[in-house]
Structure 1
Amino acid sequence: MVLLVAGVFLLALGWFAGLAMVLIALGKLSGPASLALWILFPALTIAGSVLFGIGGKLGQIRSIVLGSALSMLLLAGVAAVSLVMSAAGMLTLPGGSVSLWYVFLVAGAMGAIAAAAVSRDE
């Protein structure tokens, strides 16, 4: 049970690091996206996934993986919409677009893998 709780906490913290990168690129948070966020976003997400995978029961794991997949795909979607709006001249990105591309690719890949893992169980 402790591993499950710790895993969910780390997973949420990793998702928040990705969200912070998006908000910095959009100018909603001040300062640059530090190297720590670039590393912690995927590292915490993967570490959290491993911990709850070890500590959870099958039903719990399935629910958490589905929630994780949806949240990562949502985060990737926000990054993608921001990139498209910026490319169309509808949005100015004070923080630049590099971190948005990173979040789009990493969150999109992790979300797609998690969604595929859940759908294979059915």
Structure 2
Amino acid sequence: MVEIIGWRDEVLVFAYFLVFSLLFLICLHLGLNATIEKRVSKWLVLCRLSISALVIGKIVQLLRNLHFSWGINLIQALLLIVVMMLIEMGFRRKRLTFGDPHLNLVLEVLSLSVAIITLI
């Protein structure tokens, strides 16, 4: 028998994704704008942890809601994985060549839009 998620569970799930989305966006912004390579590495680790928590949360939500809205959760998880790969490329460029401001802006806007889509 499938159990429907109660409103308290939905609030907790929303709070989980909200907290990790905000942590992810803050770490991304601070990491891409850091001037010292040690700080770039520190923010990269925190960014990886927060986006990994988002991906794991989306996969758990996908498995839990397999009968209801699996397509939306699958698309959101795939978008998060694509953004994770783009962030790795952005941080790699930042560490090797001191970054590209245009790429950083595009990456931040894309990450913000994916974070908003994840909250829906």
TM-score interval, smaller chain: 0.3 to 0.5
Tell me which of the two structures has the higher relative contact order, counting C-alpha pairs closer than 8 angstroms and 6 or more residues apart.
1
